Amino acid sequence: MIRALRRHGHALADALRRMGAQPVASLLSILVLGVAIALPVAAAVMLKSVAATTASFDTEPHVNVYLTLDAADADAKRVGDALRATPDVAAVRFIPRAEALAELKSTTHLAELLGSLDKNPLPDAFTVRMRTTDGARIGAVRAAWGALPKVDQVVADFEWSERLARWARFGERVVIGIGILLGGAVAFIVAHLIRLQVLTQRQEIEVSQLIGATAGDVRRPFLYHGALQGLLAGAAAWGFAAAFAFWLAAELAALTPNYAAELKVVFLTPAERIGLVGGAALLGLLGAWSAVSRELRRFSTDR
């Protein structure tokens, strides 16, 4: 038991010694791996941030009904009653044109421009909250309302949110795809680096096997080497992604005051950080395993 632990200690020391023997080469390969891992991580951070921002938007289906400019209060009341009588309608809010103008003046910098107009350009409007998200049913309601007298336009506001959700799913797939490709690249790069190491240690491996090293004994330091490279690369990727997020956050903070929704960068949770570094170490381990196993098979047929 103690001897087995000690063999692991020796293997770890061996791996560190091999990395220390070529510090520049080790550092460069860790940076290359780190950049490869950082790319999908940075993309994931961006996607998370976008998702967090859109979650703060009201994505319940809304239908806005705009009346013509010449509609009288009686027309508005009649349309409102018709809207309330429709099935699937959860709530109806009437926004008189004067109120809409006042709100526009207070929330934008257009007050001066709006003040220069001699009459209110905005129509009376209704905001209708729907109970259903079914596109076909909302489409039917929309057509029926569009045919009501004094109704100018019916805008189903849910379409953009559906489109947004679809874009988010698309972005997620892009990130997953890039992540798989670059994760594979990490394993292959580590496998290649370890294979070169194995070839330079060829003589040592042969002698060790002759005097009693098992395949596991030979493999162990290389596995530590690969896992260590992956681990450090994962930590480097974390650093790169954090720097990127910090850089983005500064720019976003400057953008925020102009919009109602809060824009902010959402970085990785602690569990995701552990997953990132652990996953990178695992990829390194896998790469090393495949490289050493291949070379070991070659050695054993030599005998």
Partner 1 sequence: MIRFSAVAKRYPGGLEALRGVSLEVGDGEMVAITGHSGAGKSTLLRLAAGIERATAGTVVVQGQNLGALGESALAVLRRRIGFVFQDHKLLHDRSAFENVALPLRIAGFARDEAARRVRAALDKVGLLAREKAMPVALSGGEQQRLCIARAIVNRPMMLVADEPTGNLDAEYARAIISLFVSFHQVGTTVLLATHDETSLARLDCRRVALAAGLLAAPQPA
Q: Which is nearer to partner 1, 203 or 258 (CB)?
A: 203
6 binds partner 1 (CB under 8 A): yes
As measured in angstroms, the least distance from the Cβ of 214 to partner 1 is: 4
Token pair, residue 166, equals: 């679809």
As measured in angstroms, the least distance from the Cβ of 221 to partner 1 is: 10
Q: Taking CB under 8 A as the criterion, which residues in 167-186 touch partner 1?
A: none
Contacts of residue 120, Cβ cutoff 8 Å, sequence gap at least 6: 97, 98, 101
Q: In whole angstroms, what is the distance from residue 291 CA to residue 170 CA?
A: 35
User: Residue 100 in contact with residue 122, Cβ under 8 Å?
Assistant: yes
49 binds partner 1 (CB under 8 A): no
16 binds partner 1 (CB under 8 A): no
Single-letter amino acid, residue 168: A
300 binds partner 1 (CB under 8 A): yes
Q: Which of 102, 215, 248, 266 binds partner 1 (CB under 8 A)?
A: 215
88 binds partner 1 (CB under 8 A): no
Q: Which is nearer to partner 1, 108 or 300 (CB)?
A: 300
DSSP state letters, 217-284: HHHHHHHHHHHHHHHHHHHHHHHHHHHHHHHHHHHHHHHGGGSSSPP------HHHHHHHHHHHHHHH
Q: In whole angstroms, what is the distance from residue 31 CA to residue 38 CA?
A: 10
Which range, of 34-42, 114-122, 201-209, 223-231, touches partner 1 by CB under 8 A? 201-209
Q: Which is nearer to partner 1, 56 or 214 (CB)?
A: 214
299 binds partner 1 (CB under 8 A): no
Burial class (CB in 10 A: 0-12, 13-18, 19+), 273: middle
- The continuous run of DSSP H or E covering 173 comes out as helix 158-200
Q: Which of 31, 208, 273, 275 binds partner 1 (CB under 8 A)?
A: 208
75 binds partner 1 (CB under 8 A): no
Which range, of 94-102, 157-165, 191-199, 210-218, touches partner 1 by CB under 8 A? 210-218
What is the b/e burial string over 157-172, where b = at least 16 CB atoms within 10 angstroms of the residue's CB? Answer: bbeebeeeeeeeeebe
Given the rule CB under 8 A, which residues bind partner 1?
A: 3-4, 6-7, 10, 203-204, 206-217, 300, 303
